[in-house]
């Protein structure tokens, strides 16, 4: 009689674990690094800390702490739904490049096995879209959100 609750728990844990995995990929030139996965499927990409401010609109107009006080850190996140969000923090995902996938130019990389959620690298930039068509294009010198 106890096998049913144990089996149900095992199925729930297995399902939860499918979204908990975190993986990394980067542009061929290594200038853009990304992390995807987690319990709430999320994509976060970053460029090396900008040497000159990249103009941004809306959030975060003022990163309230540390090095990024008043400017964007070069880190951006995208969830399955909604627009991309600029972040004030910088995680240095480049340190994970040894175990990450180098994303070749012009070859879409599908995220989370969901149609429409993908990233494509092209000539030093990276474009990513979610299932609603929101996304961003990022490079070491520019940022565009759509």
What is the arithmetic mean of pLDDT over 58-65? 57
Domain boundaries, the chain: 24-145
| pTM across the whole model | 0.75
Residue 145 β-bridge partners? 136
Residue 44 β-bridge partners? 35, 77
84: three-class secondary structure by DSSP: coil
Q: Are residues 85 and 63 in contact, defined by beta-carbon separation less than 8 angstroms?
A: no
Q: Are strands 109-110 and 101-103 parallel, antiparallel or unpaired?
A: unpaired
For residue 10, what pLDDT is reported?
36
Interval 79-111: pLDDT, tens? 989 999 888 777 777 677 677 889 999 999 888
- CA-CA distance, 32 to 102, in Å (whole number)? 10
For residue 39, what pLDDT is reported?
79
Interval 66-80: pLDDT, tens? 555 556 678 899 998
Q: Label residue 14 by pLDDT band (50, 70, 90).
A: very low
């Amino acid at each position: 009689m106890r096998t049913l609750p144990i089996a149900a728990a095992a199925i729930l844990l297995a399902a939860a674990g499918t979204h908990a995995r975190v993986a990394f990929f980067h542009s061929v030139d290594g200038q853009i690094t990304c992390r995807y996965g987690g319990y709430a499927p999320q994509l976060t990409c970053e460029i090396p800390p900008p040497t000159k401010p990249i103009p941004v609109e809306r959030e975060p107009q003022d990163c309230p702490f540390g090095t990024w006080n008043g400017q964007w850190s070069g880190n951006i996140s995208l969830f399955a739904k909604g627009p991309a969000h600029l972040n004030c923090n910088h995680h240095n995902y480049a340190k994970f490049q040894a175990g990450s996938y180098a994303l070749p130019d012009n070859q879409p990389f599908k995220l989370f096995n969901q149609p429409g959620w993908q990233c494509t690298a092209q000539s030093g930039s990276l474009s990513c879209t979610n299932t609603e068509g929101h996304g961003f294009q990022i490079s070491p010198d520019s940022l565009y959100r759509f």
